Amino acid sequence: MAMLISIDNGGTLTDACVIYGAKVFHAKSLTTPHDLTKCFVEVLREVSKRIYGEPKLHALFDEVDYIRYSTTQGTNAVVQRKGPRLGVILRKGQSAESLVRNEHEKELFAALIGDRVATLDPAASDAELESQVIGVVNELMSRGANRLIVSLGGSSLVDDEMRVKRLTLLRYPRHLLGAVPILYSHQLSDDGDDARRTWSGVLNAFLHPAMERFLYSAENVMREHRARNPLLIFCNDGTSSRVAKTVALKTWGSGPRGGMEGAKALAQHYARKTVLTMDIGGTTTDVGLVSRGEVAERRWGALEDVQVSFPLCEVDSLGVGGGSIFRVRDGAIQVGPDSVGGAPGPACFGYGGREATITDAYLLLGLFDPDSYFGGSLKLDTERARTAVTENVAKPLGVDLDTALVRMQQAYVAKIAEAMAALTAKPGEATLLAFGGAGPMTACAIAEALGIGEVIVPRMAAVFSAFGIGFSDIAHSYDGALGKAGAAGLEQLVERFTNAARRDMYAEGFDLSECTVEKSISFDRNGEHATRRLNGGGLPAEVPANASDVRLQLRATKPIPHFTLRPADTAAGAQAKASRSRTLRVAGGKGGALAEAALPLYKHEELSAGNWAAGPAIVEEEYFTCLVPEGWRFLVNENHDLVLNKQSKKG
């Protein structure tokens, strides 16, 4: 019986999803930023308890086929500016100013590099260049740099950087304690845009030490428990590879990409042409688009407004989540972007938080049961929530508590809906896929604001990014410029990439003959980017003669087991039976006050395929709560996903 484990390490919580034959298990643990290995082990221990009835890590590692893992460690390192002090070596004539193209890059350059910039002249003789190398390395190290990036622009980029590499290895051999960690920009990409390529090297060098320490530590845990296969790292291109074959930069934003991979799988399985995704967590909301079964990507990805030489999926992150702070500024409510985080958390958590959050508001509106929140492991404090909303929102607005709660919900919904509306020209024709611990709560309200009539809340909504990681395969990608060599150059590049894929897949434990190999050509024409599949030996006829930046992409993929989705044509069967009711405060009271209404409560795990019910109602799972408003109806399909549809006025 196959066992597949996917883990998504977030800033507040670490999620695990286990596919064990036909069964699915999931668990959460608090993220321990001081030692990520601790929460990695803890979430595995927690999920093993759900599988075996008690914590059995040895049994888990003995049975598991693959563990696929994603972490926010890299993202957090850059956000917090915690990492190595970097130095940059450029070609003589280049300047640091040429690398900075917006205010964010300016600030990040100052934080990561500062004045640690030097130049070399590759046109110098070997003796002169060797002297220059010694001088600039010593100069940058004396300024505090402990990692260097060599990025020499120009048409001879690769040859020049290789020449510098030979000289640095001669003077600073790796077997000596005085060896200097140096990254050469062409090792990541031969992108002709100097700024983009240099930033790729800078960010990769910045992320590398922390990622290396933690990921090898996590893999050592698996070795100690004699796991059969190495840890696989899920990357921001939707693929997985072992730690030793992973580029640090590709771990950035991999968690949200996991959610997009899950969304892609559901969109294809349910034949939904356009799917808007909404992943609401404690600190942020990540919104994205799946169109015609494919995840929308930017050819040149951007990390915090810094463009890099790798494609990244188009996921926009808003500073709006369950823990976002509500304040009143100039008579209006402001939501986020700052958050109370996991500590102290919302006021209702009782850990010392005093700011108002949407979690406090929903507790006061009755959507949460103070005793069953988070599976009953966290008791909520209603009075602390009331004080936080009254002092931070109601009094500054000059309104009563009920009015403040309504306005908080309106501001929260409006901010998320505004961001989602920008993703597609016709949002009303899309299906909204709502996930994350806080996604299902307001899914229907946001759908109504966008004119959307269908919402899908996945069975694994609370751990959906981890669930989505499970649809990835082991793969390696290669990208390079054709230059002016034409068809002959294409043949040589295909051969070079094929040989690289053969070596990398051998390191993963597979022969290239076990993999699928896909080749494509990308190019720019009149400012627009296009990609064409490469099937034959020459350039596709669709590549025009005046095309620029013509590049070859090759990807080798070894499919590994995925979760199998069941048929999607579930018919409505028996009407669901509510296990109990919950009293909510809703609009309709006298004088604009909120009135109390007892809504039927359905436990998600007690529902069967075909069960349905009309709103207003609440569907609750251990880690999420879904509000089904009046005028909406839900159906449980064969995959135990909730499909919610807005009903016409006639029905």
Query: Domain locations in the chain?
Result: 79-210, 272-346+396-462+564-651, 474-558
Q: How confident is the model at residue 229 (pLDDT cuts 50, 70, 90)?
A: confident
Over residues 587-596, mean pLDDT: 75
Predicted local confidence at residue 567, as pLDDT:
85
Q: How confident is the model at residue 592 (pLDDT cuts 50, 70, 90)?
A: low
Residue 542 has pLDDT above 90, yes or no: no
Residue 176 has pLDDT above 80, yes or no: no
Q: Taking Cα atoms as reference points, which of 179, 181, 183 lies closest to residue 198?
A: 183
What digits encode the pLDDT tens for the residues 397-423? 999 999 999 999 999 999 999 999 999
Residue in the structure block whose two tokens are 């896929």: 433
Which tokens is 98 given? 């040429």
User: Are 286 and 275 a contacting pair, CB within 8 Å?
Assistant: no
Write the CA distances from 292 to 187, 453, 590, integer angstroms: 34, 19, 48
Over residues 424-435, mean pLDDT: 95
User: Are 44 and 51 a contacting pair, CB within 8 Å?
Assistant: no
Give 474-558's CATH code, choosing from 1.10.3470, 3.30.70, 3.30.1490, 3.40.50.
3.30.1490
How many residues belong to the chain?
651
DSSP-derived secondary structure letter, 646: E
Q: How many helices (H) and strands (E) does the chain have?
A: 15, 33
More confident residue, 428 or 32: 428
Predicted local confidence at residue 524, as pLDDT:
84
CATH class, domain 79-210, is alpha beta
Q: Do 79-210 and 474-558 show the same overall fold?
A: no
Residue 510 buriedness (CB in 10 A; 0-12 / 13-18 / 19+): middle
Residue 570 has pLDDT above 90, yes or no: no
What digits encode the pLDDT tens for the residues 24-77? 999 998 888 778 889 999 999 999 999 999 999 999 999 999 999 998 777 767
Strand partners, 601: 580, 618
Write the CA distances from 151 to 84, 99, 110, 551, integer angstroms: 18, 11, 18, 20
Provide the terminal-to-terminal Cα distance of the chain, rounded to the nearest Å.
45
CA 441 – CA 496 distance, rounded (Å): 51
Strand partners, 25: 18
Listed range (423-427, 527-531, 557-561) with the worst mean pLDDT: 527-531
Strand partners, 279: 286, 435
Indicate the helix (H) or strand (E) that contains 533. Answer: strand 528-533
User: Are 122 and 129 a contacting pair, CB within 8 Å?
Assistant: yes
Predicted local confidence at residue 460, as pLDDT:
94
Predicted local confidence at residue 651, as pLDDT:
46
Predicted local confidence at residue 375, as pLDDT:
66
Number of neighbours of residue 293 by Cβ within 10 angstroms = 14
Q: Taking Cα atoms as reference points, which of 555, 574, 579 lies closest to residue 635?
A: 574
Over residues 223-239, mean pLDDT: 90
Indicate the helix (H) or strand (E) that contains 282. Answer: none
What digits encode the pLDDT tens for the residues 249-267? 998 888 889 999 999 999 9
Residue 281 has pLDDT above 80, yes or no: yes
- Find all residues with CB under 8 Å of 544, minimum gap 6, and list them: 523, 525
Q: In 12-32, which positions are buried (b, 16+ CB within 10 angstroms) versus exposed (e)?
A: bbbbbbbbbeeebbbbbbebe
Number of neighbours of residue 217 by Cβ within 10 angstroms = 14
Over residues 187-204, mean pLDDT: 93
Indicate the helix (H) or strand (E) that contains 119. Answer: strand 117-120
Predicted local confidence at residue 175, as pLDDT:
78
Tell me the pTM.
0.89
User: Are 401 and 367 a contacting pair, CB within 8 Å?
Assistant: no
**Across all residues in the chain, what is the average pLDDT?**
90
